[in-house]
Chains A and B, each alone.
Chain A
Amino acid sequence: MKKPREKLYFSLALLSLLSALFFLPLAGKIPVSFSQYFNALRAWVLSKPDPSGILDILIEIRFPRVVASILAGMALAAAGTAYQAIFCNPMVSPDLLGASAGAAFGAALAIVMSLSITGLQLMSFLFGLLAVALAYFIASRADRGQKTALILILSGMVVSSIANAAMSLIKYTADTNTQLPEITFWLMGNIAPVNKSDIGFMLPPVLLGIIVVFLFRWQINVMSFGEEEAATLGVNTKLVRILVISAATLMTSATVSVCGQIGWLGLIVPHLSRMLVGADIRKTLPMSLLLGGTFLALTDTFSRTVPEAEIPIGILTAFAGAPFFIFLLLKGKKGWN
């Protein structure tokens, strides 16, 4: 089914992701040469000690960071791809139902309660899930079998708005010398403090989410023709919707709880994928995973190497994402209609 041009795009995207994973750990404030890099890797593979200390930098700092940014990028891109399809709307992003706002509120709450980093991540993750569960509950009470998607989107807006208000309240009461800056920095999105155990925290929900979306890829395709039509074609729309929402929420909350809020990526990467390989989720999803991972790994590496002082990743994705979206708009409607 794949055309030669699409095969080329997939090969290039896969190559980019693998190169990002392999070469980006070379970059950083402490210079690492190719030979040092390969020596360290050889020592690692042979389980030998590495006297240069390079291996420690790679294993403890740089690889976790590159892997975390790839995972986060994949998660947000996969969630965005699935959401845009099941809500039949190309303007939808993974924080639609309040996952991101809820997770941010949970993190802020953890900061004023002076919880540990693990406590913060758990709290943030749980509040992300809770926010979407609340939006889903409100929508299911208001639902009369018509315009279900629209009611869900509105409920999500309401819940996000409540979470943002609660967040403002926390900021207002927070200690302005310690807590307030911490909350503000956290909200800007930051992959800098990520270590190996954070990846262990992120990996299961992200992997589970991707697997669910992948298993339902054909059903999600059919859902993009609207709920009623999908049902007449034999799709159990309620089941697919709640599973996809759960999967996307797991991925988004896990990502936000470890990396903070990273905007735009979940909206833009699916568009780019559709431009390259078309609307079919069987192709759009793998392409989004590859592009999302590569894009965030590159952006994060840029943020920690090029500027004098590190710039929070959320600011960079917004600076890179918004103009790219304008470019898509000006170029005409290729990824949607």
Chain B
Amino acid sequence: MLEIRQLAIGYDEPIIKDLSLEVKASEFVCVIGANGIGKTTLFKTLLRILPKLSGQVLLDGTEIEDFSTKEFAKKVAYVPQAHVPPFPFEVIDVVIMGRTAALGTFAVPSKQDVLIAENLLELLGIEKLKNKKYTEISGGERQMTLIARALAQEAGTVILDEPASSLDLGNQWKIFTQIRKLATKGLGILMSTHNPNHVLSFADKTLAIFEDSTWMFGETNDVLTSENLSRIYGLPMRICTLDDGEKVCVLKK
């Protein structure tokens, strides 16, 4: 479980203050907010890439600063926005990199690690990519590969930074469905996204960060109201309920 208590984040000046929330096992929590509002800064702080300004971040009861690099990687996995590295690794090797925290410093992955990676490719339905070059597959396939890599860490909490932002609608849907499944299986998920409709369809809870850097955390249905969405984007937004009960978010003309 990831607990955030009165956290202040930012580079020198705090950009978000007094943030408190929890990501429990089996929970899918989305973070929604405009560009530059501090979503990535928040994630970097949670991942110890940036130092926090004040407050506490606890993982299963222990402060994140108290973990070694390896132990931390066994608790939290990170899925960055898919980028293309300069070297043509095979997909299977990229996934096996998720096993690094479980290895000794001088060790290389064992047959067991390869097997774990292969099973994950199968779980995500991308086993045919196994020996493809990571640099040559599509954006959606790369994102799936990075999710497999994160799962190989066997961490209880997974943090995803806008995994669907550069994907087409079909691939966005695939990624969200897959992440929903993972949460149902017991992982705690914290994910940022720019698509309120996906949040409405998939997320248990939502952290909304407003234009004035205030925030609100709670059940998705309580947080994603027409009024709050308008405050997030500074535009008149409306939540409509369709005939079948599904909620959608639209921009008022």
User: Is B61 interfacial (CB-CB < 8 Å)?
Assistant: no
- Whether A274 pairs with B87 at a CB distance below 8 angstroms is yes
Binds B, one of A117-125, A177-185, A220-228: A220-228
Give the residues in chain A near B49, CB-CB below 8 Å: 145, 228, 231-232
User: Is B186 interfacial (CB-CB < 8 Å)?
Assistant: no
Chain A binding site: helix, strand, loop or mixed by DSSP?
A: loop
B47 nearest in chain A by CB position:
A232
User: Is B123 interfacial (CB-CB < 8 Å)?
Assistant: no
One digit per residue, 1 when the CB lies within 8 angstroms of any chain B CB and 0 when it does not, for chain A 68-99 equals: 00000000000000001100111000000000
Q: Chain B nearest CB: distance from A278 CB in Å?
A: 6
Number of residues on chain B facing chain A (CB within 8 A): 39
- Whether A85 pairs with B87 at a CB distance below 8 angstroms is yes
Partner of B93, one of A89, A229, A231, A280: A280
Give the residues in chain A near B94, CB-CB below 8 Å: 225
Q: Chain B nearest CB: distance from A156 CB in Å?
A: 18
User: Is B33 interfacial (CB-CB < 8 Å)?
Assistant: no
- Whether A282 pairs with B69 at a CB distance below 8 angstroms is no
Partner of A224, one of B47, B70, B85, B100: B85
CA distance A88 to B83 in the complex (A): 12
User: Is A219 interfacial (CB-CB < 8 Å)?
Assistant: yes
Tell me the residues in window 86-130 of chain B with beta carbons closer than 8 Å to chain A beta carbons: 86-90, 93-94, 97-98, 100-103, 105-109, 114
CA distance A93 to B153 in the complex (A): 33
One digit per residue, 1 when the CB lies within 8 angstroms of any chain A CB and 0 when it does not, for chain B 55-81 equals: 000000000000001101110111010
Partner of B73, one of A85, A145, A216, A233: A233
- Whether A233 pairs with B100 at a CB distance below 8 angstroms is yes
Give the residues in chain B near A203, CB-CB below 8 Å: none
Partner of B85, one of A225, A228, A236, A335: A225
User: Is B251 interfacial (CB-CB < 8 Å)?
Assistant: no
User: Is A319 interfacial (CB-CB < 8 Å)?
Assistant: no
- Whether B85 pairs with A89 at a CB distance below 8 angstroms is no
Number of residues on chain A facing chain B (CB within 8 A): 34
Q: Which of B83, B88, B90, B135 has the most chain A CB atoms inside 10 A of its CB?
A: B88
User: Is A336 interfacial (CB-CB < 8 Å)?
Assistant: yes
CA distance A337 to B101 in the complex (A): 27
Q: Chain A nearest CB: distance from B145 CB in Å?
A: 12
Give the residues in chain A near B250, CB-CB below 8 Å: none
CA distance A89 to B94 in the complex (A): 18
One digit per residue, 1 when the CB lies within 8 angstroms of any chain B CB and 0 when it does not, for chain A 208-223 equals: 0000000111110110
Q: Chain A nearest CB: distance from B45 CB in Å?
A: 12
Q: Which of A85, A215, A235, A279 has the most chain B CB atoms inside 10 A of its CB?
A: A279
What are 11 A-B contacts with C-beta separation under 8 Å?
A88-B85, A218-B108, A221-B93, A232-B73, A233-B153, A279-B87, A279-B88, A279-B89, A280-B89, A336-B87, A337-B87
Q: With A234-B153, A337-B85 given, can you name 20 additional A-B contacts, CB distance below 8 Å?
A: A1-B114, A88-B85, A216-B106, A218-B100, A218-B103, A221-B97, A224-B85, A224-B87, A226-B85, A228-B80, A232-B49, A232-B78, A234-B72, A234-B74, A234-B101, A236-B69, A278-B88, A279-B88, A282-B108, A337-B135
Among all A-B residue pairs, the 6 with the closest Cβ atoms? A234-B101, A234-B73, A279-B87, A232-B78, A337-B135, A215-B106
Residue ranges of A at the interface with B (Cβ–Cβ < 8 Å): 1, 84-85, 88-90, 145, 215-219, 221-222, 224-226, 228-229, 231-236, 274, 278-280, 282, 334-337
